[in-house]
Structure 1
Amino acid sequence: MTPKTHLPVMTAGVLVVLLAACGGGATDSTSGDGSTDDGADGSAKALQVVTTVAPITSITAAVAGDRAQINGLVPEGTNSHTFDPPPSAAAVLSDADVVFINGLQLEEPTKDLAEANMKDDAVLVEIGTEVLPEEEYIYDFSFPEEDGKPNPHLWTDPTWAIRYAEVIRDTLTEADPDGEATYAENFTAFEAQATELSDALRADQESIPEGGKELLTYHDAYAYFAKTYDWTVIGAIQPENFEDPTPREVAGLIDQIEAEEVPVIFGSEVFPSAVLEEVGNATGARYEDTLRDDDLPGEPGDPEHSWLGLMRYDYVTMINGLGGEATELAALDTAPAVPDDATYPQ
C-alpha cells in the first residue's frame, strides 16, 4: 500500500452572487448495521475506509460493496464548509486504511485531523483534485480566485461523480488487490446507473420552456452541473462569510430577478432562508425550499438514501419548478445496485 498520500484538492463554482452550506460529525468504528470488522467471509478484517460528506460516502459504498467497512464523518444536514470534527473522530481516523475527502479546502479541519492521526501506511485521497485539472477550476464571487478556493461541489454532476467512482475503485484496488474484480464490477454497476440518470436528465430538461434553465439558489452547489448540462447559475444567496446578505445585495438580487424574469428561487431544505422568502415576495418568484446539497433523502437503509436518490430528487425539483416535466427521471430506480451498509452520522 502506498504510504500516507495527500493528493491536491479540487472544486469549482459558477456565476454566483454568494455562497452557502453543505453537511458534518463523527461515528464509531462499527458498520452501519452494527457488524464487526470481519470481512464478508468472516476470516479477515475488512478494509477500513473513512469518508466525509454523505454523497462521497454513498459513492464509496457503491464501489466497495461488502469488502470495506465505511464510516462517514460529516453528519447529514450540517454545513460541511464550516464543519469541525469532534475529538472522537481521531479514533476513527486512526484505524483507517483509506480516507476519502472531497478536497479543495472543503474539509481542511478533517484533513488536518486525519494527517495527525492516520497510520503510516494509510492513504488520504482528495478525490476532487485527482479528477479535475486545475485549469478547469471554476471561480466566482463566492469562491474568488484570490482566496484559492474553487467551488467544491463536483458530485452534483453525474459525469464527475463517475470520475469520483473511478478514483475510489482504483484506490481500493491498490489497498486491497484481492478485491479487484469486485471493485470493477461494482464500479460498472454504478457507472450504468449514473449514466441512466444523466440521460434522463438530458431528456427531461428539454421540457423546460426555452431560456428557462436558470438557477437562483441558496447555495451554489451546481457550478459543474450547469457547465455540463448547459444551465445558467444566476446567483446564490448566502454570502462567502455565511452571514445574511446586506440589504444592498438583496436589492441588487431583486433587480436581477425582475430583469431576467426568474420564476423560481431554489432554497435549501436544511437551511431555511428568510432572505429568499423576502426576495420571492418582492419579485413574485416562487420560493422552493427543498433542494439538498449533500443531505441524502430518507434515512440510512432507505432505497432513496443514496447519491442517486439525492441527485434525482434535486433534478426533478428543479425541472418541475421551472415548468418542465421530469417523467423519465421520476421513472428511474435509484436504489443502489450494491447494498449500502456504510455509517451515515445524522
Structure 2
Amino acid sequence: MEGTAWLARFAPWCFSALALCGPVWAAGMEKPRVVTTVAPITDIVRHVAAGHASVTGIVPPGTDSHTFEPVPSDVKILAAADIIIVNGLDLELPTVGLAEKVKRAGVPLVQLGNRTLSREEWRYDFSFPRAHGHPNPHLWPNIALAMRYAEIVRDSLSSLDPGAKEGYAANTAAYLARLRQLDEAIFGCVRSIPEKHRKLVTYHDSFAYFAPRYGMQVVAAIQPANFSEPGPQEVIRIIRQIRQEKIPAIFGSEVFPSRTAEQIARESGARFIDQLSDDELPPPPNDSFIGMMAANMAIMTGSLGGDPRCVAHVDTRGLAP
C-alpha cells in the first residue's frame, strides 16, 4: 500500500486493493464535469451543483425526450464526463446505451428514477403499457419525487467531490425550500378547482405520478405507446368519456402536436389547451423547473375552473448565467 499511497493522495482517483475505483476531487482542480439529459433534470442538477461543478444537458429544448437520439458531438461530451445523471426508467435508452459505451472507467451513471422508486411503485398506463415493459418515467411533476431527485444528486456529487460536500448540502437545502413552496402551492391550486373538474385528459401522460399526490385523476392519455396517433375506436371512447364526465379542458403540448387531440376537444365540447410542458423550461427570467411547473399549474388550474393566481407567490427564477 505504501507504493500507491502518494498517488491516492495527489491524483484525482481513489484506490482500493490497488484497483481504480473512480474520480475524487481535490482543492485546486478543475470543477467536475456533470452531464445530464432533459431540461428539468439538468435544472435540478444545476441548482444542487451551483458554484462547484459544471453541468451540461445534452437534450435540446423542445425535443421529444423519448425519441431523442444523441448526435456525434454528444459522444465527446459523454466521454469527458466525470459523472452522468439521467432520469432513468427507460426514458433515455439511446443516451444511456451510448454513455455506457463511451464513458471512462469508474465514471458513475446515476439513474434518478430507478433510485427513487421501487419496481413495485412504477406506473403503467395507455402511453406506457406494462406489456411493453417500460414504466411511465415522468416522476418530476410530483414535487415530492423531484425533492428526492435533488437529494440523490447532492449525495452523488458529494461522493464524487467530497471537498465541496458542504456547498452541495447548502445548495440543496436552499433548493428544497423552494420546492416545498411550490409543492404547497400546487396543493392550493388543486383545492381551488371544483372537485368534479379535478380530472386530467392529456395527450402524453406526463402526470401519472403528479395526479395521485395532489388529488387529481388522470382520466385518459391520448398518445399510444408507439408515439403515433390513437385509433378510431380509442378516439371515440375518449370523446364519450369526456362528454360523460363533463371535463372542461384537455391538455396537450407544443412538443407533441396532435390534430387528433384537437379533434377530440372539438367533438367532445372541451377546450384544447396545448401549452403544458413536461420537459421544456419557460423563457427567462422564469427559466427553471419550478418556473415550468408553476406555469403548468396556472394554465391547468385556470382551465379547470380554479384560481390561476395560486402560484403567483412562488419563486420561479432561473439561475443567473
TM-score by length of 1: 0.84
Cα distance in 2 between the residues matched to 1:258 and 1:167: 43
| Contact 1:208 1:323 (8 Å CA) reproduced | yes
AA aligned opposite 1:332: V
Which has the larger share of helix?
2
Question: What does 1:46-57 align with in structure 2 at a 5 Å threshold?
Answer: 46-57=31-42
Give the structure 2 partner of residue 131 of structure 1. Answer: 116
Match of residue 92, structure 2, among 80, 104, 107: 107
Match of residue 236, structure 1, among 200, 213, 221: 221
| Contact 1:166 1:187 (8 Å CA) reproduced | yes
Give the structure 2 partner of residue 167 of structure 1. Answer: 152
Q: Percent identity?
A: 45
CA gap of 1:151–1:340, structure 2 versus 1, over 3 A, is: farther
Cα displacement (A) at 1:340: 5.1
Give the structure 1 partner of residue 249 of structure 2. Answer: 264
Aligned length: 300
SS at match of 1:290: coil
Backbone CA RMSD of aligned residues: 1.6
SS at match of 1:50: strand
Match of residue 294, structure 1, among 276, 279, 282: 279
Give the structure 2 partner of residue 311 of structure 1. Answer: 293
Give the structure 2 partner of residue 17 of structure 1. Answer: none
Q: Does 1:224 align with 2:209?
A: yes
Cα distance in 2 between the residues matched to 1:237 and 1:268: 12
Note the alpha carbon deviations across 1:152-207, whole angstroms, 9 max, x for none: 00011110000000000000000000111110000001100000001111112211
Q: Does 1:325 align with 2:311?
A: no
| Contact 2:298 2:310 (8 Å CA) reproduced | no
SS at match of 1:71: strand
SS at match of 2:72: coil
Cα distance in 2 between the residues matched to 1:82 and 1:280: 26
Greater relative contact order structure (CA < 8 Å, 6+ sep): 1
Cα distance in 2 between the residues matched to 1:57 and 1:46: 17
| Contact 1:101 1:107 (8 Å CA) reproduced | yes
Match of residue 78, structure 1, among 63, 69, 73: 63
SS at match of 1:179: helix
| Contact 1:205 1:326 (8 Å CA) reproduced | no
Q: Does 1:335 align with 2:320?
A: no
Note the alpha carbon deviations across 1:191-226, whole angstroms, 9 max, x for none: 000000011111122111122110001110001111
SS at match of 1:216: strand
Q: Which runs of 5+ in 2 are unaligned?
A: 1-13, 15-19
Cα distance in 2 between the residues matched to 1:328 and 1:230: 16
AA aligned opposite 1:230: G
Question: Max radius of gyration: which structure?
Answer: 2
Cα distance in 2 between the residues matched to 1:151 and 1:203: 26
AA aligned opposite 1:157: N
Cα distance in 2 between the residues matched to 1:104 and 1:162: 17
Q: Does 1:141 align with 2:126?
A: yes
| Contact 2:87 2:113 (8 Å CA) reproduced | yes
Note the alpha carbon deviations across 1:219-251, whole angstroms, 9 max, x for none: 100011111111100111111111111122111
| Contact 1:244 1:275 (8 Å CA) reproduced | yes
Cα distance in 1 between the residues matched to 2:119 and 2:233: 34
SS at match of 2:219: strand
Cα distance in 2 between the residues matched to 1:286 and 1:175: 49
Runs of 4+ in 1 over 2 A off after TM superposition: 1-4, 269-272
Cα distance in 2 between the residues matched to 1:102 and 1:225: 16
Q: Does 1:185 align with 2:185?
A: no
Cα displacement (A) at 1:288: 0.7
Cα displacement (A) at 1:121: 2.2
Q: Which runs of 5+ in 1 are unaligned?
A: 5-38, 342-346
- Greater displacement, 133-142 / 57-66: 133-142
AA aligned opposite 2:173: T
| Contact 1:277 1:287 (8 Å CA) reproduced | yes
TM-score by length of 2: 0.90
Cα distance in 1 between the residues matched to 2:115 and 2:255: 29
Cα distance in 2 between the residues matched to 1:231 and 1:165: 24
AA aligned opposite 2:89: L
